[in-house]
Structure 1
Amino acid sequence: MKAANARALTPDQLQEELLKLKKEQFNLRFQRATGQLEKTHRINQVRKDIALVKTMMREKTTAKSV
């Protein structure tokens, strides 16, 4: 996910995206533990996407209060 795409989302959409990414992260960790994970780089991508979504959510909440 790119930052420009994340900025275009509403807070509700960001929340849904965060939930989706956390589910994917759980599934990837489970696959890694069972030895079924093929795309190991995807774990790092999902972690970075989660951080990006959380950052955008934080930006939107602080923008409202200012």
Structure 2
Amino acid sequence: MAATKIGDIRAKSADELNTMLLDLRKEQFNLRFQRATGQIEALSRIKQVRRDIARVKTIIGERARSAATKA
């Protein structure tokens, strides 16, 4: 699975972003668990998921800041 593009993330609604963030965090937990037990096959996926989480959190933060300045 490839990393999520920033344009795809920006196109999502707030609910979709929160759902995506929750799914990514679950995947990150599972990958960490697999690494600890020695069952992981794609170590690079850990890095991709971590960066996708950062991308989603960045967009959520940008939207929160822009809403705060408009209010």
The interval holding the TM-score normalised by the smaller chain is: over 0.9
**Structure 2: which 5+ runs fail to align?**
none
RMSD over equivalenced CA pairs, Å: 0.6
**Structure 1: which 5+ runs fail to align?**
none
TM-score (norm 1): 0.96
* Deviating 4+ runs (over 2 angstroms): none
1:49 aligns with 2:44: no
Equivalent of residue 65 in structure 1, options 49, 61, 68: 68
TM-score (norm 2): 0.90
Aligned identity (percent) is: 53
* Count of equivalent residues: 66
